[in-house]
Amino acid sequence: MSLLKQPIINIIFIGFMSVIYSFIFIFTAGHMEFVSILSHRETLNSSFWNGWSDFLRTGNMRFIGYLIIGLTIAIIVFILIKKRKKYDEYQVSILSKSLLVAGTLSILMIPFMMILLLSDSNYAVETIFLFASVQWISVLVSYLIYVIKF
Amino acid sequence: MKNKVKNLREQFGLSQAQLGEKVSVSRQAINAIENNKFDPSIWLAYDLAKFFNLSIEEIFDFEESERK
């Protein structure tokens, strides 16, 4: 965790992960093969899930990718402007706790998604994308609050 | 862990930010230590003790610590 003391390590970590997420969201938006695996039959009587599925199908998920890029740029700019010194041990403890929560959620989601896919694959892709969106945007927003506050 | 950092800081007439500067940590770190929300490392405790010219045990109450 001592690596987290370095602002540059935070920039590299956030930047690297955001590039992967935004690439997935922007590249797969409207991609024919991706659209074909979404739940077209609307088997679930839920306006939320059908609306989310429509949102993905029409390629609007690229905007989530743009949001990720925007938040990441804001975080990096704040780090570069405000943080010239290393983070102290209190700040590192907060950062490590935040990453521990995000990591634990990701680990818990792997078996949950396996159960989801094996029991009923309908809306599984939508669920995975919703989780990925909420998880990474939550990490970015909390990181942004952190860099503004400290 | 209970500690006397706030009292000592006030005796020295320092703000949290000023004390933070003296021991190379942020104002938020000093605030968290004073409010018992954060237990400092042995190195930071040493720096605080050295600055106040006291021993670590005179500043931090290990007997009352929950970790004991």
Is residue A25 within 8 Å of residue A59, measured between CB atoms? Answer: no
Task: Suggest the residue from A84, A88, A147, A149 to mutate for an interface test with chain B (most B CBs closer than 10 A).
Answer: A88
The structural domains of chain A, with segments of one domain joined by +, span 3-149
Q: Give yes or no for residue B68 having a pLDDT over 60.
A: no
Domains of chain B with bracketed CATH: 4-57 (1.10.260.40)
Q: Give yes or no for residue B4 having a pLDDT over 80.
A: yes
Per CB-CB distance under 8 Å, the chain B contacts of A88 are: 24-26, 29
Phi, then psi, of A128 in degrees rounded to 5: -60, -45
In 3D, which of A131, A72, A66, A59 has the Cα closest to residue A102?
Answer: A131
Q: From the CA of B28, how many Å to the nearest CA of chain A?
A: 8
What residue in A sits closest to B44 (Cα-Cα)?
A89
Residue A55 tokens read as 């949102």
pLDDT tens profile B24-46: 998 989 999 999 889 899 999 99
What residue in A sits closest to B31 (Cα-Cα)?
A90
pLDDT tens profile A76-102: 999 888 766 778 888 888 888 888 888
How many angstroms separate the CA atoms of A94 and A87, rounded?
10
pTM of the model: 0.77
| A48 lies within 8 A of chain B by CB | no
| A96 lies within 8 A of chain B by CB | no
